[in-house]
Amino acid sequence: MTTAAVALGSNLGNRAETLRAAVRRLRAEPGLRLLAASSFYETAPINCPPGSGDFLNAAVTVETDRSPEDLLQLLLRIERQFGRVRTEPNSPRTLDLDLILYGDQLIHTPTLVVPHPRMHERGFVLAPLAEIVPDVVHPILKKTVRELRDAAPTDDIRVLQAAPKADGQLAGLRALVTGSTSGIGASIAAVFALEGATVITHGRRKREGRHIAADLRNPAEVDRLAEEAWTASGSALNVLVCNAGADTLTGTAAKQSFEEKLEVLLDVDLKATMRLTRNLGARMKQRGRGAIITIGWDQAETGMAGDSGELFAAVKGAVMCFTRSLAKSLAPEVRVNGIAPGWIRTAWGETASAAWQERVRAETPLGVWGLPEDVATAALWLASPASGFITGQTIRVNGGAVG
C-alpha cells in the first residue's frame, strides 16, 4: 500500500459542500482508505480569467494499492461526477483534484507528473497539506512540507471553521444519541449539533461535556441513562437516537462463541433499545411531542449467510419489527422510525480485506461504501420537522442494494 496526497479546490457553486462531498466520495471508494483531511482554506484566484471567484482548498492523504495512473483516472472520474468541465487553463471549476504526491516516487509521463511540478510554489496547496503531513519530505527538493509552506506565500490564505447554525434544522431541540463516541453515532451527534441541537452523547466510558456513561448490558444502567438524559439538559428531550450496538466483529469479541455473541447483541442492541425507547417514549408522549430513531440492518430482511449474518439478522430484524409497533403505540404525539444501514465504512470497513472491498462494490449499485455521514443525514431528516408526516418507517441507507 502507498500513501498518496491529493489537493482539492473549488470556486464555483457551494464550494464548501462540494469539497465535503468530494472527501466523502474518496472515503467511500472501496480499496482506498482516507488517512487524513485538512481544514478548508480560502484564497484569491491566481492566474485565472477575470471575474473568477475565490477558491476553497483542502488536502487529503489516502492509502491505496492503485497505481498512480489508476488513481489519476479515479480523480478525473470524480471531477466529472461533480460537473467539472475542462476549458481554458485555470478556468473556474466546480472541483479540482490534483495528485500531489505518491509515496516518494518520481513520475513523469505524458499524462502525469508527480510530485506536482508547482506544488512548492502554491501556498494554497502547502497550507492544507502541512496541516496533515508537515514532516513528509519532497522527494526532489528534499525539504519537508512544513519547510516548503513556510517559504511559500500564504499570508492571504484564510482557514474556515464550521460553526453551529443558529437557524439549523434542529435549532432549540435536545437530543440523546446512544453509542455516540465513534462511528455512526459520533457522526449523528456531530450533524445534530451543527444543525443547532443540544446533544447529549453516550458511551460506556466517562467523557467531558454533555455526556452520560452507561453500560447498556445492565437494565438498571439503561434506566439511569433515561432519567439523567431527560433532566440533564435543563429541559425534556425532543429526540432519541438508539444507535448503540455491541461490536462482535473486531477485537477480542470477534473470538467469542455464537452463543456469547448472541447474548450481548440481545442485551445491547435489542433489549436496551426496547427499554430506553419505551421509557423515554412514554415521557415524550405524555409531554405531547418527540421523535425516536432506531438502527436496524438492511440485510435483516434479505438474509446473509454465516454466523454474523444469522446473528445480526435475528437481532436487528427484531429491532425493526419493534420499531413499527412502537410507532403505533406512541402515535400521534411521538414519531418513531428506523434506519437500516447497508455497507457502511465504520472501523471494521476501514481494515476489511480486498475480498470484502470487492463484495461491497458488487453488492451496492452505487459501487461505493456508505459513510457514517450518510446515516447521519437520514437521521437528521427523521429528527427534523421536515419529516413530520413520517412514522413507523424503516429508511434503507444502502446505496440501492435490494434483495
User: Among all residues, which ones are annotated catalytic?
Assistant: 84, 93, 96, 98
Reference 75, options 67, 48, 89, 362; nearest CA is: 67
For the beta carbon of residue 313, count every other beta carbon within 10 angstroms.
17
- Return the closest-CA partner of residue 175 out of 235, 247, 108, 105: 235
Is residue 182 within 8 A of residue 205, CB to CB? The reply is no
Q: Cell numbers of 72, please?
A: 489519476
Residue type, 247: D
Strand 290-295 relative to strand 239-242: parallel, antiparallel, unpaired?
A: parallel
Compute φ and ψ for 192, nearest 5 degrees.
Answer: -60, -45
- Residues 308, 265: Cα–Cα separation, whole Å: 11
The residues facing 199 across adjacent strands are 175
Query: Grid cell 473556474 — which residue?
Result: 92
Radius of gyration of the chain (CA): 23
Query: Rounded distance, CA 306 to CA 195, Å?
Result: 40
| Grid coordinates of 368 | 461505493
Strands 55-64 and 40-43: antiparallel
- List CB contacts of 350: < 8 A, sequence separation 6 or more: 33
Residue from 16, 11, 106, 102 nearest 65 by CA: 102
